[in-house]
Amino acid sequence: MTWFTVLPFALTVALSVVLGRVALPLHPAWCARVLATTAAMTAVAALGTGFFVAVNYAATLAPAAAERLPEWALFGDDQPVPDAVGVPAVLLSAAGLAVAGRTAVRWARELRRARDGAQRVVETGVPMAVAVPGRGGGVLVSRGLLRGLASEELRVVFEHEGSHLRHRHHRYLAAGAVAAALLPLRRLDGALRLAVERWADEDAAEAVGDRGLVARTIAKVALAQPAAARPALGFADSGVVRRVEALLGAPPARNAVAGPLLFLGDALVTGSLAAVALQLDHAVAALPPVW
């Protein structure tokens, strides 16, 4: 085992931390794509590195059983993994898989509940609108929203939520949620949530042709929320002040060239790092051992 074993994971985490703190000068659609890709690949690198080290630690403890493992699953330098590294790797890998599984189950459960109510109006006075993806989904709205907004404001809401459904934003948010559950990447998750909401805001503004109307509708729904309310994927969720300020300014550039280039570059870099984290045999064999 060498320092290179954890390098891909360390690089993806470092990139995730930077992107969680630095605002990308891109259209929200491209920001969301870059952040979601980074989050997903960081989660893969974390789980892959932990599993890889854990398997090699098991091979250290049971050399006879290791002969049955494929060559790609073992370190190329054939060096034993010390207990100080192997035990934490096993525990963290198990914990990571449990956390990722629990997060996926929670999302699936919440999605089923939302789908059950997507075909009818929620009887609550709290203004609420949620995009429910998948078959049997749609836009879940509350009685308070329908009563509290004018027709043009309701159109803003449905255009916004329709953008979430068209672009399958729940997949982006799932990547951020899993990464934040596995690692201390709440800033990245928050930046991703904001980018997704800003993306939907811009789609709504383009559809209705009035950025001020979209800004006022977001502010109106947010101000009507009870202090304890925390809507998940809700219309007034995630960075309301920043969203309103952005809508009151000029529309963002489309980034027809810079956006795709940065996205492809990020996908190539993070995808390569995640792939290396899953298969280190040849790379590790070429480096001097630390232990």
Residue whose C-alpha is closest to residue 195's, from 263, 145, 140, 142: 263
Q: CA 161 → CA 96, 105, 201, 246, 250, distances in Å?
A: 32, 23, 9, 18, 22
Host H or E run for residue 46? helix 28-61
Q: Which amino acid is at 70?
A: P
**Nearest-angstrom CA–CA distance, 197 and 249:** 16
Radius of gyration of the chain (CA): 23
**34 φψ region: left (φ > 0), alpha (ψ -120 to 50), beta (else):** alpha
Give the number of C-alpha atoms closer than 13 A to the C-alpha of residue 236, restricted to the C-beta side. 20
**Nearest-angstrom CA–CA distance, 101 and 178:** 9
Query: Per-residue confidence of the chain (291 residues) as pLDDT tens digits?
Result: 566 778 889 999 999 999 999 999 999 999 999 999 999 999 999 988 888 888 778 777 777 666 666 555 555 545 677 888 888 888 888 888 898 888 888 878 877 777 776 667 888 888 889 898 877 678 889 999 999 999 999 999 999 999 999 999 999 999 999 999 999 999 999 999 999 999 999 999 999 999 999 999 999 998 888 765 544 446 766 689 999 999 999 999 999 999 999 999 999 999 998 888 776 554 455 445 544
**Nearest-angstrom CA–CA distance, 9 and 107:** 25
The encoded tokens of residue 182 equal: 């596995």
Does residue 222 contact residue 268 with C-beta atoms inside 8 Å?
A: no
Q: Is 126 helix (H, G, I), strand (E, B) or coil?
A: coil
Residue entry with tokens 């934040």: 180
Residue whose C-alpha is closest to residue 179's, from 78, 105, 267, 103: 103
pTM: 0.86
